[in-house]
Amino acid sequence: MKHDDYPIMTFKTPKAYETWLAKNHAKSDGIWLKMAKAKAGIASINFPQALDVNLCYGWIDGLRRSFDENYFIQKVTPRREKSVWSVINKNKVEELIKAGKMKEPGLAAIEVAKKNGLWDKAYLSQKNISVPDDLQKALNKNKKAKAFFAKLNSQNRYAILYRLHQVKREATKKKKIDDFVLMLERNETIYPQKL
At 17-34, the pLDDT tens digits run 999 999 999 999 999 999
Over residues 99-127, the mean pLDDT reads 93
DSSP assignment letter at 60: E
What does the pLDDT read at residue 121? 84
Same domain, 112 and 70: yes
Q: Evaluate whether residue 195 is within a structural domain.
A: no
77 and 32 in a common domain: yes
Distance CA 3, CA 154 (A): 28
Pair 45, 13 in one domain: yes
Residues 110 and 31 in one domain: yes
Q: Quote the pLDDT of residue 28.
A: 97
The model's pLDDT over 118-158, given as tens digits with 9 standing for 90+, comes to 898 888 888 889 999 999 999 999 999 999 999 999 999 99
Provide the residue range defining the domain that includes 7. Answer: 2-121
pLDDT band at 2 (very low <50, low <70, confident <90, very high): low
Does 10 map to a domain? yes
Q: At residue 100, does pLDDT exceed 90?
A: yes
Query: Is 58 within a domain?
Result: yes
Q: Is residue 29 part of a domain?
A: yes
Clarify whether residues 97 and 177 are in a common domain.
no
45 with 74, same domain: the answer is yes
Residue 145 forms part of a structural domain: yes
Query: pLDDT tens digits, residue range 51-96?
Result: 999 999 999 999 999 999 999 999 999 999 999 899 999 999 999 9
Residue 47 lies in a domain: yes
Distance CA 141, CA 156 (A): 21
**What pLDDT score was predicted for residue 147?**
97
Residue 4 has pLDDT above 80, yes or no: no
Same domain, 55 and 137: no
How much is the pLDDT for 128?
Answer: 86
Helix %, strand %, coil % for the chain, to 5? 50, 15, 35
3-class secondary-structure state, position 76: strand
Q: Are residues 14 and 81 in the same domain?
A: yes
Domain total in the chain: 2
Cβ contact 51:28 at 8 Å:
no
Give the pLDDT score at 12: 96
Residues 110 and 15 reside in one and the same domain: yes
Q: Which of 170, 149, 146, 148 is nearest to 158 (CA)?
A: 149
Domain termination site, one of 75, 100, 121: 121
In a shared domain, residues 16 and 98: yes
Helices vs strands, H then E, count in the chain: 8, 5
The pLDDT of residue 195 is above 90 = no
Domain final residue pick, 68, 88, 121: 121
d(C-alpha 54, C-alpha 57), whole Å: 5
pTM of the model: 0.77
96 and 6 within one domain: yes
Are 75 and 8 part of one and the same domain? yes
In a domain, 143, yes or no: yes
> What share of the chain has pLDDT > 90, as a percent?
85
* Structural domain includes residue 127: no
pLDDT value of position 171: 94
pLDDT confidence bin for 3, thresholds 50/70/90: low
